[in-house]
Structure 1
Amino acid sequence: MHQDPALADAPWPTIPEGLTVLIPVGSTEQHGPHLPLDVDTVIAVAVSTAAADRCGPSVRVAPAVAFGASGEHQHFPGTISIGTEALAHTLTELGRSVRTWAARVVFVNGHGGNIEALERAVAVLTAEGADVGWLPCRHGDAHAGRPETSLMLHLAPHRVDMSAAAPGETASMSDLMPRLRASGVRAVSPNGILGDPRQASAAEGAALLARMTGEVAAAIVAGAARAGSLPGADGANA
């Protein structure tokens, strides 16, 4: 019988020993005029669920952390940010709780603004002896552009309004970062998009999800999550 990887669906007596628990970490923040606020969470959950399904019954997916460090988007209505300090504390406490009954904890991150908090939490938990790490959902999008829009067209097409999709700021993140850090996303992109989502497609989203799932599943199996990231990954989507 196929094992549902969603931890929340499991009665406690069915939870096995030696479990690896994936905790998706997303955000609630603007993603342009065409996408919903929970894009990062949707993607992190989808990657976690597909990776757990690929890895087998020893890997389960916890309910997602839906609020992250999103201060750069705070000038847009709908954004709810708890900041790096609160997120790091939350992730640390979640890790401490889960490790009392699970063998391993892996945070699967869908938002680049969460990275500092993840690194802090993983450092604390590792120093306490936990087998813990984090992995990025590496899709290559700056923010609300073609890759994220493609993923949402694949995962939740009814929640995407392509009639509202429009180009945003298309300069490179390296060029934009000083202004982003100083003044936030709205200062560089009035519509909140970093990129151009107009050529997005569900087929591209399916291919991206398959690639990300493969990367995360392989890292979990190989134990690479303990190092805190995939080889060559920076997870720096906004």
Structure 2
Amino acid sequence: MTQLAGAVWPQIPEAALLVVPLGSVEQHGHHLPLATDTTVAAAVSRAALPGLADALLAPALPYGASGEHEGFPGTVSIGTEALTTVLVELGRSACRWAPRLLVVNGHGGNLEALGAAVPLLRSEGRDVAWFPCGVPGGDAHAGRTETSLMLHVEPAGVREADAVAGETAPLAEILPRLRAGGVRAVSPTGVLGDPSGASAAEGAGLLVAITARLVEAVRRWEVDPAGRLRS
């Protein structure tokens, strides 16, 4: 495994695939750290690297568009416009030497910026794509899914004794209220889901599944109109 931050320039392969984890700094209830999304995106990227030819792991981008969580202390959001600019300029710079660039995204609030930046970069002739760390059927935020993943990849950061449930209604049902008033208007705990039953074993299985989807998606490298790798 080669990490970009620890490499020297002669080590950079000519056919490099640069993998950039993208996360956020935002509340994750009473029990998960603010850097959860970044931690998960970085863990998925590291786990996938052995299956990716000539891949380099870049330092994670820890700030994202998290305005919906700003009702809670600790959240730091740079917003969609700024994140779009960061992604565009990062892509333009990295693609001067990296033939391909992949952003591995750990936060749903970053989707608008990715959907703007990546197609723009592709229209300029740069081979850029992004991939989500989502789990089909998983809960939306700081529930069982993310708690299990964190119990596996960074167990010391999980305060299991402080875990409480939040709003458990389907995301489609609460989305209008979420957009109007942010997460705090929907869930006073900051959780969208229920962390009960989370386990490190479940998290290990989830990480394997996400990683396998990512490796297969990179192998095929088919990109949809929003710049997302098809999986």
Interval of TM-score (by shorter of Structure 1 and Structure 2):
over 0.9
Contact 1:162 1:198 in 2 (8 A): no
Determine which of 218, 222, 225 is the counterpart of 1:224: 222
2:29 is matched with 32
1:5 is matched with 2
1:200 is matched with 198
Contact 2:217 2:230 in 1 (8 A): no
Name the aligned partner's letter for residue 193 of structure 1: V
Contact 1:169 1:193 in 2 (8 A): yes
2:176 is matched with 178
1:69 is matched with 65
Contact 2:22 2:62 in 1 (8 A): yes
Return the alpha-carbon distance in structure 2 between the equivalents of residues 86 and 178 of structure 1. Answer: 24
Contact 1:135 1:225 in 2 (8 A): no
Contact 1:106 1:225 in 2 (8 A): no
Return the alpha-carbon distance in structure 2 between the equivalents of residues 10 and 131 of structure 1. Answer: 23
Contact 1:219 1:225 in 2 (8 A): no
Return the alpha-carbon distance in structure 1 between the equivalents of residues 131 and 155 of structure 2. Answer: 26
Matches within 5 A, 1:1-238: 4-56=1-53, 58-139=54-135, 140-225=138-223, 228-231=227-230
User: SS at the partner of 1:224?
Assistant: coil
Return the alpha-carbon distance in structure 1 between the equivalents of residues 156 and 49 of structure 2. Answer: 25
The 4+ residue runs of structure 1 with deviation greater than 2 A are 224-232
Name the aligned partner's letter for residue 148 of structure 1: E
Return the alpha-carbon distance in structure 2 between the equivalents of residues 109 and 5 of structure 1. Answer: 20
Q: 1:225 to 1:44 in 2, by over 3 A?
A: farther
Deviation of residue 141 (structure 1)? 2.9
Return the alpha-carbon distance in structure 2 between the equivalents of residues 125 and 178 of structure 1. Answer: 31
Residues 20-39 of structure 1: CA deviation (Å, up to 9, x unaligned): 11111100000000000000
Aligned length: 228
Residues 150-196 of structure 1: CA deviation (Å, up to 9, x unaligned): 00000111110110011110001001100000000000100100010
Return the alpha-carbon distance in structure 1 between the equivalents of residues 8 and 30 of structure 2. Answer: 40
Contact 2:26 2:34 in 1 (8 A): yes
User: SS at the partner of 2:2?
Assistant: coil
Identity across matched positions, percent: 56
Residues 49-88 of structure 1: CA deviation (Å, up to 9, x unaligned): 11112224x1111111100000000010000000000000
Deviation of residue 5 (structure 1)? 3.1
Deviation of residue 224 (structure 1)? 2.5
In structure 1, runs of 5+ residues without a counterpart are 233-238
Name the aligned partner's letter for residue 212 of structure 1: I
Name the aligned partner's letter for residue 63 of structure 2: F
Contact 2:221 2:230 in 1 (8 A): no
